[in-house]
Amino acid sequence: MVSWNRSTVTSGDVELAVFELDTPGAAEKRPTVVLVHGWPDTHHLWDQVAPLLGDDLRVISYDTRGYGESTSPEQVQAYTLDLLAQDLFAVLDAVSPDAPVHIVAHDWGSVQTWEAVTTEGAHDRIGSFTSVSGPNLDYLGEWARTNLSRPTPGNLGRALSQVASSAYTAFFQLPVLPQAFFSTFGSEKNWTEFLHAIEGTPRENVSFSPTLREDMVSGLRFYSANIREKLARPNPRPTAVPVLEVVNERDIALRPAIYELTHTHANKLWRKNTRTGHWLPYTNPRYLAETAREFITMIESGASSAPNTIDRARRLGPPQKLGGKLAVITGAGSGIGRETAYALAQLGCEVVLADINTAGAEETATECKASGVLTSVYPLDVADTRAVNEFAETVRKNHGVPDIVINNAGIAVAGPALAASDEQVDRLLDINLRGVISGSRAFGRQMVERGAGGHIVNLASAAAFTPSRDLGLYAASKAGVLMFCESLRAELAEHKIGVTAICPGIVHTNITSTTEIAGTEDEAGQRRRLDDFYAKRGFTPDKVARDIVKAILSNKAVVPVTPEAKFGYRSYRFFPWASRIAARQKLTK
């Protein structure tokens, strides 16, 4: 059970219950972080987060006015954001009068902190602000007006999506009815079941205040006092306080699009998108604590970047859907791996590049760095399972748990299966199949443990569903990848981790020039003719990279890329006999 030491801070006519985490044996001189809760919580929202921060931070929380052990004024106008911001500054002055304080805030706690950080002189008192599931209402009003004043299908779609997500706020502002509803149904048991149903919040080990029912009713004043005024007459103001927006992509109440204009007002803005829901302090306290500590450490040290992808400092443009994520790519020294690295770097991902050919990977890294992202290169032979596992641990230690993993490394063996050597077969399967399985398992375990979702992309091939007498071994390795992806996708779905099998057809990469061809005396000549044929086809790896990015954004299961791959995928499903007849044709002559 977490232990808090209670004190009281006065703000005007309100007495605020302030709590400091009891951390026996911790160093005295530590940066101070204040945790601010939202509706319908109290400081108990942070019971699981606070101990994870206590080793190297002095942790403070408080019950905001209207909640828990703090004063609850009756008048709605006692809950306007300017008064809530004054409360926050009163707490900061009391707990750390001589040094700036870091703030981590959720829901309405974040909304009122936005009011504070946009107050003149706030950067002298607030060292950083980690915002979780709570927008600046002035920025939100400006965003809504912008989208509605330019009624394109995209703008209207984003606006209507947010209106639907926020419909509950209209109910909360009605007279009598919401108060009666929460007075009747606002029990701890009902609230626990509701949170569990909407986003899987645990039924156990979740702390609520004994005053939960009363807090639900009292907190409704926050909505009545602020939402209509702010949305009708927004007054967006800038802030010089460093801000990290933790954008929960599965937030039931707030769509990611509403943060599109934050960068125009916050000149020290970082953003971290994650496939999590609104109640992150309950569902994944460790992830939130690690994210907040990482950001605070970065600000305290004066560094311009930090591990685990909080590195998109002082963004000068609107947010990108993959911006700030960490991507690991194997086989990144050329071809599809290289182009995918370029595409992800241009979208703001930190990229970790691995290849047995480190010189090629370094060339890829040079171009990625030109996009302004952190880029690292590691040597890796994916056929070595131990090396893959060690590589995954190195990435975790040096960069954090990746959000995206592209298992791309592969080779090809053509010619009759009966003519290939055992060594060729072993090497092919070790790289194409076992390498994919090893990478998926090593990084998949990390993603599951972190609990914040992710995406794994494995390179299969159109050969997985296009039988060929000359590509039997290669086809077998890629068919294994395809079925492994389908099965792993089902296994990881409950963890919000997507898995995609990319199935290109004839793509001109250096794999064709290095393909081993069994059962021929003119291997070099046949390889040259095969490479020439692929070159004339003209389908380049950058086009595959674009489809990989689309697959990540849309969480597609199987993606046939080239026209012949799309045809082959459907042909094998609906006319397998035709595929078997076509398989008798020789590719190598």
Q: What is the pLDDT of residues 191-244, one digit of tens each?
A: 999 999 988 888 887 889 999 999 999 999 999 999 998 988 999 999 999 999
Reported as a pLDDT band with limits 50, 70 and 90, residue 519 is low
The per-residue pLDDT for 511 is 65
Tokens 């009815």, residue located: 177
Q: Mean pLDDT, the chain, as a whole number?
A: 88
Q: Which residues are catalytic?
A: 474
Reported as a pLDDT band with limits 50, 70 and 90, residue 272 is confident
Asked if residue 304 has pLDDT above 80, the reply is no
User: What H or E segment, with its residue span, contains residue 86?
Assistant: helix 81-95
CATH topology of domain 326-582: Rossmann fold (3.40.50)
Asked if residue 534 has pLDDT above 70, the reply is no
Reported as a pLDDT band with limits 50, 70 and 90, residue 532 is low
The CATH architecture annotation of domain 4-169+218-301 reads 3-Layer(aba) Sandwich (3.40)
Same fold, 4-169+218-301 and 326-582: yes
The per-residue pLDDT for 528 is 64
Task: Indicate left, alpha or beta for 218 from its phi (over 0: left) and psi (-120 to 50: alpha).
Answer: alpha
Tokens 């943060």, residue located: 259
Over residues 91-120, the pLDDT tens digits come to: 999 999 999 999 999 999 999 999 999 999
Residues 355-376, mean pLDDT to the nearest whole number: 92
The per-residue pLDDT for 311 is 40
Q: What ranges do the domains of the chain cover?
A: 4-169+218-301, 326-582
Starting at the earlier edge strand, list the strands of the sheet with 126-132: 4-11, 14-21, 58-62, 32-36, 101-106, 126-132, 243-248, 269-274
Over residues 144-197, the pLDDT tens digits come to: 888 777 767 767 777 778 878 888 888 999 999 999 999 999 999 999 999 999
Task: Answer whether 60's CB lies under 8 Å from 34's CB.
Answer: yes
The per-residue pLDDT for 512 is 60
Task: Answer whether 277's CB lies under 8 Å from 252's CB.
Answer: yes
295: nearest Cα among 283, 281, 312, 279: 312
